[in-house]
A = this chain, B = another copy of it.
């Protein structure tokens, strides 16, 4: 197969767009798709400072690299919660090479010296739920305290459509409105959240990371991928194979359909002052329960 742009031998075939590309033109395509998502879903305005949540996997590292290439003013943040073993040194070298910052934030103090699996065990809650709670809270807090306007995460199209399918099968539609590619800043302590990879598949972010020789970890979080999301990804891939473009249509249609009519009203947590929909935010509630469980 030939590259659509230059007729050299293609390295990747994208049936959803009915094209194939060589390495160089795949890179162009990838950056265009990121840019397209940013424009389509009003993700980044001029002069905004972007913090990229980097776990060390292919998606977040590719996202960071792509945003730097697209000349956005962005730094990467790795939240060390005792889960995962990304290639920290190589990521730091990458930062120097591309002219960005790679920040490591040690969350152990915020977590009272415990790691996430330990907390989940003490509180008898699912690990992924504790991890999500902690990440959302600390990432937002770090962004606010350090003057970032936007927090970008590496969710790709496969993540989003598998989440969407799971929620539709069970009609948990409340979650869907909050799942949009851009969550606007609705409080001075709640930075804008964006997902610039939503128009790109797992296969594409993987290819981008390989082609650009990015230092990513192939290790999967032992907790993060539950059986359901893998099942949904598998069946969606099956449908995509037979009907290329289904994932993109499914995703775009859902965004249109579940457009949030009004932003959720936020107030300030009685304990930490960060925004929440309730009296006390879920991070502070978790810490409270943890203190009780530890008898402090």
Contact = CB atoms under 8 A, between A and B. Distances in A.
Query: Interface on chain A toward B: helix, strand, loop, or mixed SS?
Result: helix
A239 interface: yes
Given A231-B238, A238-B235, A249 B170 contact: yes
A256 B168 contact: no
**What is the total number of copies of this protein in its complex?**
2
Interface in A206-264: 227-228, 231-232, 234-235, 238-239, 242-243, 246, 249-250, 253-254, 256-257
A34 to B, nearest CB: 24
A171 interface: yes
A168 B171 contact: no
Nearest to A237: B235
A271 to B, nearest CB: 36
Contact of A254 (B171, B234, B235, B243): B171
A32 interface: no
Interface of A: 168-171, 173, 227-228, 231-232, 234-235, 238-239, 242-243, 246, 249-250, 253-254, 256-257
8 contacts: A170-B246, A171-B253, A171-B254, A173-B257, A228-B242, A231-B238, A234-B238, A235-B235
Given A171-B253, A171-B254, A234-B238, 14 more contacts: A168-B250, A169-B246, A169-B249, A169-B250, A170-B249, A170-B253, A171-B256, A173-B257, A227-B242, A231-B238, A231-B242, A232-B239, A235-B235, A235-B238
